[in-house]
Structure 1
Amino acid sequence: MTETRTRSGAAGTEPATVDPGPVATPPGATASRWSGVRPETVGLPLLGLLIALAVWWLVTAGLGLVHPVSLPPPQDVWTSLTGTADVLLPALGLTTLLTLLGFLLSTVAGVLIGMALAASRRAERMFAPLLVAINAVPKIALGPLLVVSVGWGEKPILTMVFLLCFFPIVLSTATGLTTTPADLAELARSLNASWWQAFRKVRFPAALPQIFVGLKVAMPLAAIGAVIGEFYSDRPGLGYQILQYNGIGDTATAWAAIVLIAGMSILLYSALSLVERLALPWVRATTSAR
Structure 2
Amino acid sequence: MFRAWFLSWAKDKLYEEYQSTQRKENSDTPNQPEEHSCPPPRSDVLIVAKSMSELLELQDQMKLSNSIYGKNCQITWGTWRDFSIVLGTLGDSQTDVEKACQSLLHLTSPQWIVSIGFATALIEELEQDVIFLANEIVDESGKRWELDFRFPENSSQKGTSFKIGKLLTVLNLPTKVEEKEKLHQTFEAVVLDQETALIAQQAGEQGIKFLSIRIVADPLTQDVDERVKRIKAQSSKLGKLGAFTGALFQEPQVVKKLWKDQEAKLTSTITLTRFTLGIVAQLDRQNGR
More helix by share: 1
More strand by share: 2
TM-score by length of 2: 0.29
From the CA coordinates, give the structure whose radius of gyration is larger. Answer: 1
TM-score by length of 1: 0.29
